[in-house]
A and B are shown apart, each in its own frame.
Chain A
């Protein structure tokens, strides 16, 4: 019974991401830009479950977010890169502290922002203006800063929950192991 409730929370936390994007709380935004919510979930998940889980989580998250925004450009490539990269950090997960959560999500947001912006540049030939570049710089760096600031709170909380959940699942599947 206890296991099922934890499992539901993992699914629920995934489902909350689109709600947070829709809600877009003004008190958590900087210059109208909100933090990059999917990385708060993807980083702890990928660190705990490894690069393959990170890859698929990135794809699933990207599919959901692309569907929400109904956009010509995709968030999947950026999230997949981050998912694999964060997953590879699972070997040194014990050394990851709150500061590193902030740093990693900031770098992940920078990667996702640059990948997305490069798609706009590549596939929208009539948009190569100074205005677009200035907007992109403002957008990417606001998001990087805000995500890095908030990551220690959200990521460490989700990390603890996912970690406990994994331990419990292992216990549930193999009760004799210590």
Chain B
């Protein structure tokens, strides 16, 4: 009777190798189910000391900037070529003149900047003036040494613009204050506070897509069309240096 009894070590659950095999199989199944995420997480901790440093990041960012710049240049060239074909307003890189502001009337009835470049430097009436941020105004008077810029906040200023998100056209009218009024041509339109406003490609006065401002408030109840107040990107009260873009048709 005693001889027929199995010894303890012969039972299957007491076999060490079997348990190892079972555990390994379960591990493999888990790896398969989790699609190796466990391995990736382990690798995350193991590889931390060898990650690319700040210099590598800067190199990548610089490369990315260069790529964007190259793309932008290419697109600008395309734009110039197409606008030339369509005989629309255009500005080339050679036609930009840097000027400094020598007089500023930005708080009263008259919204004018006087620049230190005039007809001697090739500035002409109708040239567009931009500053850090975007469009400031249009040259409306020149002398031999200076030129006068009528700001887009002036009550005489009226410009064709469009919004970036939905390409809705409108007329930007200076109100004498710092926020010109944007009058849309339609009543039922999709404009939101925060939409960017650019110069319209249909404008005969300005080059297309110059950044102008951001929609600050919208009055959808006004009749006959929707009006919005625009906060300008370029601040004429503080700008000391501007760029004159010579216009060509």
Contacts and interface: CB of A to CB of B under 8 A. Distances in A.
Given A72-B156, A131-B177, A136-B176, A31 B110 contact: no
Contact of A34 (B108, B156, B177, B227): B108
Contacts of A21: 105
Interface in A24-76: 24, 29, 31-34, 69-72
Contacts of B247: none
Contact of A70 (B140, B173, B175, B177): B140
B175 A131 contact: yes
A132 interface: yes
Nearest to A143: B108
Contacts of A32: 106-108, 237
A126 B175 CA distance: 10
Contacts of A124: 155-156
A135 B176 contact: yes
Contact of A134 (B102, B103, B141, B177): B177
B112 interface: yes
B107 A69 contact: no
B181 interface: yes
20 contacts: A22-B102, A24-B104, A29-B107, A31-B107, A32-B237, A33-B108, A34-B105, A69-B110, A69-B112, A70-B148, A70-B150, A116-B109, A120-B176, A127-B155, A131-B177, A131-B179, A131-B181, A132-B155, A132-B177, A135-B175
Nearest to B148: A70
A129 interface: yes
Interface string A81-125: 000000000000000000000000000000000001000100010
Interface of B: 102-110, 112, 114, 140-141, 148, 150, 155-156, 173, 175-177, 179, 181, 183, 227, 229, 237
Chain A residues touching B, majority SS: helix
A45 B106 CA distance: 29
Nearest to B108: A33
Interface string A126-153: 1101011011100100010000000000
A160 to B, nearest CB: 29
B107 A131 contact: no
A34 B175 contact: no
Contacts, number: 61
Contacts of B179: 131
A21 B175 CA distance: 21
Contacts of A127: 155, 173, 175
A69 B227 CA distance: 28
Contact of A24 (B105, B175, B227): B105
B113 to A, nearest CB: 11
A158 to B, nearest CB: 22
Nearest to A30: B107
A70 B110 CA distance: 9
A126 B114 CA distance: 27
Which of B102, B110, B183, B237 is packed against the most chain A CB atoms within 10 Å?
Answer: B110
Contacts of B177: 131-132, 134-135
Which of A120, A126, A129, A139 is packed against the most chain B CB atoms within 10 Å?
Answer: A129
